[in-house]
């Protein structure tokens, strides 16, 4: 006999319903819960209607010889014979037809069979709703939401579903507006089309699986760092620092709002009016007024013409004021006075939080943060870059370059193993829908090793590839492109590659200078099919080396005084890195475009919600 633990169900505390994963996600598919009465909620993924046999229209026990003739009984039971009787002229069919037309036929009873998902897992629960509870046209459209109470029962035909919910009571129905075009009514919509419906696309099985894997990455990351003694720290999103040294940044200011308001006060009544056209019309209006003055026969016309000329001159004055204000605004915009701005200085959306993390690492040892990072790169075609990307960043005191590379490798192995153990159904679904090698790909990270090469070695290897012509020729001193990085990981080594000791010119100012004076202690982790997912470094702890480097790049000490202070007061060696979480999700899902793994993609030329 089944134990009570096997039949135990946990209600979601804040809605008093059972999560579908706790029913269909069990090893037995829910068979151990037969006979349980539960409340579930979700959205209809697909549906079908099963018609029931119609009830008998005549009660033979109640009908006597005065109620209906034998012919009429046959006609009521067999419509086909009734039609024959009409043709033959038998019986008073005209009276019967009139009665039939007056008495409406009740709708044929049916059962709506729904496949319902609540987003907790790949699998759906089959739900049966009798037409007496709700009209099929109301609950069957894809996207309809229901909250239903019923009993779990065994299916007669065992297919994908072991159990179904026989609904006893509908607690809520969120209908789909028939006048609106529900975007998911078609099956297997292309991902590119779903991008235009980012508020609805999580209801698809593919995007739901991607989201659950994304969530697992976040959970695994926090667990890894908490297990290794890191502290979670929030860093600012708005900063006055250029944390990359040469990054394209989004500027944050309130000065433009002030100028816009001032301009709008002037142009409210003159928008869309051409100053040149109005000035040209004034000459004609002056000529008409002079002619009317010479002719005293039409005084009313003269008064009207004078008023029209006066209003036109007022309009010209307004337009000239508008043009002057626009010119002054343009000049002020070119030379903004940031002392009048909200922060009294230029401010930007942060490119990286690592500089701020250093201050806490120099007091607490090992710290990490999690949040959005912004780059104003004007590329609308990149499949690996967004204006807003989510990053995991960490900083470790008393740590050097080799320590940071080891930590990066351990983190990747840990979270890939976590995904394999916690998202098997999602991976299985995506391996069928997107790419067959997903499971093996993650396992190769867990059980395999990383190739380590210097930047100089990487450039020489790429130069010597026979018969391969890259779009950008690999040259020492230039940043390796996505094509270069992918070729190293995909074609040459066929596994993750760590490229370290890179030229100082292509790395941020804060990276520690190596003894050769040309390279810095930086590294990138390249994954096959994705490219660089981790970029890290050992940071410069020596004041006498960092300060000249900042001057070389034109960075003023005023903004970075606190950062230099860390080198003056108890400096330590320290290192860290940034992880592009969105790119890791691409790696784990087999997708090709970052816009398909981010809930609301921010790209050049389009913000999407």
**pLDDT tens digits along 67-123:** 444 444 444 555 554 555 455 554 455 555 555 555 666 778 999 999 999 999 999
State the pTM of this model.
Answer: 0.77
CA-CA distances (angstroms) from residue 88 to 6, 70, 81, 138, 238?
Answer: 68, 16, 11, 43, 90
Residue 142 counted as domain residue: yes
Phi, psi of 294 (to 5 degrees): -70, -25
Residue 95 counted as domain residue: no
Give the pLDDT of residue 73.
46
> What are the structure tokens assigned to 484, written together?
């270069």
CA 262 to chain centre: 37
Domain final residue, candidates 182, 198, 233: 182
Residues 493 and 576 in one domain: yes
Give the pLDDT of residue 601.
81
Pairing of strands 574-580, 388-397: antiparallel
Give the pLDDT of residue 490.
93
Give the pLDDT of residue 347.
85
Residues 313 and 271 in one domain: yes
Give the pLDDT of residue 420.
94
Residues 226 and 158 in one domain: no
**Alpha carbons 493 and 461: distance in angstroms, whole number:** 11
Residue 472 counted as domain residue: yes
Q: What is the DSSP letter of 439?
A: H
Residues 563 and 585 in one domain: yes
Give the pLDDT of residue 432.
92
Residues 412 and 543 in one domain: yes
Residues 400 and 542 in one domain: yes
Residue 79 counted as domain residue: no
Contact present, 433 and 210 (Cβ < 8 Å)? no
Residue 66 counted as domain residue: no
Residue 137 counted as domain residue: yes
Kindly report the CATH number assigned to the domain that includes residue 245.
3.30.930.10
Domain final residue, candidates 335, 357, 390: 335
Residue 362 counted as domain residue: yes
Give the pLDDT of residue 357.
95
Give the pLDDT of residue 29.
87
pLDDT tens sequence across 335-367: 677 778 788 788 888 889 999 999 999 999 999
Give the pLDDT of residue 266.
37
Q: Give the residue ranges of the chain where pLDDT is below 50.
A: 1-2, 4-5, 58-75, 81, 85, 90-91, 259-272, 329-333
Domain final residue, candidates 292, 311, 335: 335
Residues 413 and 284 in one domain: no
> What are the structure tokens assigned to 583, written together?
């790119």
Residues 412 and 515 in one domain: yes
CA-CA distances (angstroms) from residue 427 to 187, 204, 212, 218, 327?
Answer: 20, 15, 10, 17, 59
Residues comprising the chain, all counted = 609
Residue 240 counted as domain residue: yes
Ramachandran region of residue 365, left (φ > 0), alpha (ψ -120 to 50) or beta? Answer: left
Residues 373 and 236 in one domain: yes
Residues 159 and 175 in one domain: yes
Provide the domain count of the chain.
3
Domain that residue 562 falls in = 206-251+346-596
Residues 547 and 570 in one domain: yes
Q: Which residues contact 216 (CB under 8 A, 6 or more apart)?
A: 418, 419, 422, 423
Q: Where are the beta strands (DSSP E) in 267-354?
A: 347-349
Residues 359 and 455 in one domain: yes
Q: What is the DSSP letter of 109?
A: P
């Amino acid at each position: 006999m089944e134990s009570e633990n096997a039949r135990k169900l946990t209600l979601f505390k804040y809605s008093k319903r059972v999560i579908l994963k706790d029913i269909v996600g069990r090893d037995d598919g829910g068979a151990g819960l037969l006979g349980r009465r539960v409340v579930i909620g979700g959205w209809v993924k697909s549906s079908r209607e099963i018609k029931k046999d119609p009830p008998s229209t005549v009660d033979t026990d109640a009908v006597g010889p005065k109620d209906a003739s034998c012919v009429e009984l046959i006609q009521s039971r067999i419509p086909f014979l009734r039609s024959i009787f009409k043709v033959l002229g038998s019986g008073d069919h005209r009276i019967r037809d009139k009665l039939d037309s007056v008495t409406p036929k009740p709708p044929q009873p049916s059962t709506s069979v729904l496949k319902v998902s609540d987003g907790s897992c790949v699998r759906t629960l089959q739900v049966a709703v009798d037409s007496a509870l709700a009209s099929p046209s109301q609950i069957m459209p894809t996207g309809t939401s229901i909250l239903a109470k019923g009993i779990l029962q065994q299916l007669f035909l065992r297919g994908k579903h072991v159990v179904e919910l026989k609904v006893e009571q509908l607690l809520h129905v969120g209908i789909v507006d028939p006048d609106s075009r529900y975007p998911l009514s078609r099956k297997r919509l292309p991902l590119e089309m779903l991008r235009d419906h980012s508020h609805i696309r999580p209801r698809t099985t593919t995007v739901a699986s991607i989201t659950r894997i994304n969530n697992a990455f976040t959970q695994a990351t926090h667990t890894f760092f908490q297990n290794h003694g890191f502290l979670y720290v929030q860093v600012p999103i708005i900063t006055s620092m250029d944390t990359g040294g040469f990054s394209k940044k989004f500027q944050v200011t309130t000065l433009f709002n002030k100028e816009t308001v001032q301009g709008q006060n002037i142009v409210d009544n003159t928008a869309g009016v051409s100053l040149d056209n109005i000035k040209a019309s004034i000459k004609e209006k002056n000529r008409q007024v002079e002619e009317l003055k010479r002719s005293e026969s039409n005084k009313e016309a003269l008064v009207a013409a004078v008023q029209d000329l006066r209003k036109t001159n007022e309009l010209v004055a307004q337009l000239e004021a508008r043009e002057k204000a626009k010119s002054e605004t343009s000049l002020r915009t070119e030379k903004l006075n940031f002392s009048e701005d909200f922060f009294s200085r230029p401010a930007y959306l942060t490119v990286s939080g690592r500089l701020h993390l250093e201050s806490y690492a120099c007091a607490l040892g090992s710290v990490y943060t999690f949040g959005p990072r912004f780059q104003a790169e004007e590329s609308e075609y990149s499949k690996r870059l967004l204006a807003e990307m989510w990053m995991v960043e960490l900083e470790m005191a008393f740590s050097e370059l080799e320590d940071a590379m080891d930590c990066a490798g351990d983190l990747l192995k840990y979270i890939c193993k976590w995904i394999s153990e916690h998202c098997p159904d999602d991976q299985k679904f995506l391996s069928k829908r997107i790419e067959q090698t997903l499971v093996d790909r993650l396992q190769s990270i867990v059980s395999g090793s990383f190739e380590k090469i210097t930047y100089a070695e990487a450039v020489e290897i790429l130069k010597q590839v026979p018969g391969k012509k890259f779009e950008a020729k690999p040259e020492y001193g230039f940043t390796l492109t996505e094509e270069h990085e992918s070729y190293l990981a995909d074609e040459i080594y066929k596994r993750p590659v760590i490229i370290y000791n890179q030229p100082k010119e292509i790395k941020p100012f804060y990276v520690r200078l190596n003894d050769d004076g040309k390279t810095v202690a930086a590294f990138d982790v390249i994954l096959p099919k994705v490219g660089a997912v981790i970029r890290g470094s050992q940071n410069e702890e020596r004041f006498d080396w960092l300060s000249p480097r900042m001057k070389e790049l034109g960075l003023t000490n005023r903004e970075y005084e606190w950062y230099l202070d860390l080198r003056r007061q108890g400096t330590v060696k320290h290192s860290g890195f940034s992880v592009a979480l969105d790119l890791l999700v691409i790696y784990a899902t087999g997708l090709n475009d970052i816009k398909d793994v981010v809930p609301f993609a921010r790209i050049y030329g389009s913000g999407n919600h």
